[in-house]
Chains A and B, each alone.
Chain A
Amino acid sequence: GAVVSQHPSRVICKSGTSVKIECRSLDFQATTMFWYRQFPKQSLMLMATSNEGSKATYEQGVEKDKFLINHASLTLSTLTVTSAHPEDSSFYICSTISGSGFNGQFFGPGTRLTVL
């Protein structure tokens, strides 16, 4: 399967600052990437679908101006949490698919964001 990396793995920031999380597909070209948010003891919640060269598609209830997604190349998608607040603290995971995704998704290791 595909290898997906995320950077950073862990970040602590002050309230009001912005944080950028990178998701890289290391061994194939990822046309589509997904961004998830996982709260403790809860499931993964899809935030948005990122397509290379076009605007991301956000799920209902996700603020697109707060969670900026850029997918400028076939190997890199970035999620920027703008003006972060403590309630944004969470585990953010990206994934990608090969083709239409019917063979499952390939997940990055996740980024733990803590906003003080």
Chain B
Amino acid sequence: AQSVTQPDIHITVSEGASLELRCNYSYGATPYLFWYVQSPGQGLQLLLKYFSGDTLVQGIKGFEAEFKRSQSSFNLRKPSVHWSDAAEYFCAVGDGSGGYQKVTFGTGTKLQVIP
């Protein structure tokens, strides 16, 4: 069964500093990987996704993520964090074998941005 681990429950960074959120996955084949962001009391918004091809993917809001098969990782990065980036971030792995995406989410990393 697929699984996702986000080892950092909570991260605090200063505005303008760089950010990296860690994500490790377990999946038998080439995974479909996603990063979502959730603002308080809101649903989730897709930041970026990886299916195949270039292992460095660009997303919205200046985020990028790199797929590293050897490390089973899909870490999310942003070179300069803005206060509006404070939210909870979820990494997810999808299983497309059933004809549609059945997605397993990690436990999330809460990002706090300080001035």
The size class of the interface chain A forms with chain B is 20 to 34
Pairwise interchain contact B107-A43, C-beta atoms closer than 8 A: yes
* CB nearest to A106 among chain B residues: B46
Contact with B along A59-98 (1 / 0, CB 8 A): 0000000000000000000000000000000000101010
Pairwise interchain contact B105-A110, C-beta atoms closer than 8 A: no
Knowing A46-B102, A46-B103, the reply to whether A100 touches B96 (Cβ < 8 A) is yes
B21-62 CB contacts (< 8 Å) to partner A: 32, 34, 36, 41-46, 49, 51
Number of interchain pairs (Cβ within 8 Å): 63
A7 interface residue per 8 A CB criterion? no
B115 interface residue per 8 A CB criterion? no
* B: number of interface residues (CB 8 Å): 25
A32 interface residue per 8 A CB criterion? yes
Q: What's the nearest-Cβ distance from chain B to residue A24, in Å?
A: 13
Pairwise interchain contact B101-A97, C-beta atoms closer than 8 A: yes
Contacts of A44 on B, CB cut-off 8 Å? Answer: 44, 90, 105
Q: What's the nearest-Cβ distance from chain B to residue A27, in Å?
A: 15
Q: Contact residues of B with A, CB < 8 Å?
A: 9, 32, 34, 36, 41-46, 49, 51, 90, 94, 96, 99-108
